[in-house]
Every structure is written in C-alpha cells, then in structure tokens.
Chains A and B, each alone.
Chain A
Amino acid sequence: DSGVTQTPKHLITATGQRVTLRCSPRSGDLSVYWYQQSLDQGLQFLIQYYNGEERAKGNILERFSAQQFPDLHSELNLSSLELGDSALYFCASSVALAGEGNEQFFGPGTRLTVL
C-alpha cells in the first residue's frame, strides 16, 4: 500500500458527461501528479500540483482540469467525455517538487469507461 488513495475505483459513464476523480496524497507529500494510462498511449503525464499551485502541465486536454485543495487532496475533472477518454487514471504524490530526485508514489488508479 503506497499511502495514496483514489476514488472511485471504477467509473462508467456516457459520452458527453462530466466526472470527477479524487486523490489523497501520502501524509506529508506536497506534490500531486495525474497520469493517464491507455493501451495505445502508455503512461502520459497530465498535470502536477505543488502545495495548491499548478506547477507543470503535460498532455492534458482543455476538456480536463484539476485542482489541489488546502488539505492537499486533488481532483481531476473530465468533461465532454469521449470514447477515447476511457483509460486508467493514476494519481501519484511525492514529498517535494519534481526534478529533485524524489520518487513518486502511485495510487491504485481509477478505471474510467466511457460508453
């Protein structure tokens, strides 16, 4: 158990809908990262927050947004869902900023299925 929690574990929804994925980082970790894992795209970095502020953006679509709250939990919002958004979404946390050699600890993921 990495100490990172994600809810829900599974999510099934229809095209055009909006969903929210939730992540709680390990105790003491200030950085939260979101990744998308699909069969044909591998593990793609979406976005990073550090202590409530956005710090880095990866391949995140404009239909997607995220935030980190004062208690350090984070939410990833996915809107106008398309079939291609079906994937595993992982949250990870680390104690400090990326690029300082700190490993990231991953949550169990949320499997999103868009029908």
Chain B
Amino acid sequence: AQSVAQPEDQVNVAEGNPLTVKCTYSVSGNPYLFWYVQYPNRGLQFLLKYITGDNLVKGSYGFEAEFNKSQTSFHLKKPSALVSDSALYFCAVMSYGQNFVFGPGTRLSVLP
C-alpha cells in the first residue's frame, strides 16, 4: 500500500529565510512524487514532480524538491521565502498503475 506522511502540520518561517516542508513516503516499486499548493478557497496547483533522473527537481515559483531514495523522502524547499508563499502544501505519491495518495498537508506561514 502507498502512503505519504507530512510530519509537520504547520511550518512558520520569516520572509527571506529558506523554507523546507517535509514529506516521506512508502510505496512498493519506484515512486512518482509530486508537490501541490493550495491557496485559500482555491483548487490545488501543481508545483513539481519527480519521475526519474536528477534527484533535485525544480518547479514553479522558485520551489525545488530533493528526492532521497534511502530516506524515502521528498522535501520541498525554497531558498528565500515570500509572504505570498503562505498556503497549504500537499505531497503526493503514486507508483506505476496506482492512483495518487496525498499527504495530510502542511500549512506554511511566512511572516513579514
């Protein structure tokens, strides 16, 4: 069975500081990993994905994520946080032939 954990319900960071939102996963087989962001009263927006290849994936709005197979992690990072990055972030995993499984979400607050 597939599962995703986002160990932090809430992450607070000061504007201009680097941010990390954590995600760990469990799948049988090779994982496909995704990050989505949800702003208030909006649908989820795709940020980036890892399918294969380079472990560091770059996505929208300056976000990147690092795939670590040995630690089964796919943490989302940004070098310098903006107040406008404040939102709910979801990690998702799938493996071939399976559907998405979303994590519970992490609320990011960037403080001015």
Contacts and interface: CB of A to CB of B under 8 A. Distances in A.
A105 B99 contact: no
Interface of A: 2, 4, 33, 42-43, 45, 48, 56, 58, 90, 92, 98-101, 103-109
A32 to B, nearest CB: 12
Interface in B70-103: 90, 94-103
Interface stretch (B18-26, B39-47, B61-69): B39-47
B51 A101 contact: yes
Given A101-B51, A103-B34, A106-B43, 9 more contacts: A2-B45, A42-B105, A45-B100, A98-B94, A98-B100, A99-B32, A99-B94, A104-B46, A109-B43
Interface residues of B, number: 23
Given A101-B49, A103-B34, A90 B44 contact: yes
B46 A99 contact: no
Contacts of A58: 99
Nearest to A108: B43
A99 B95 contact: yes
8 contacts: A4-B43, A42-B104, A45-B100, A90-B44, A99-B32, A101-B51, A101-B94, A109-B43
Closest 4 CB pairs of A and B: A106-B43, A99-B97, A106-B44, A101-B51
Contact of A45 (B46, B99, B103): B99
A107 B42 CA distance: 8
A42 B105 CA distance: 8
Contacts of A107: 43
Contact of A100 (B43, B96, B102): B96
A95 B29 CA distance: 22
Contacts of B94: 98-99, 101
B49 A103 contact: yes
B49 A2 contact: no
Nearest to B30: A101
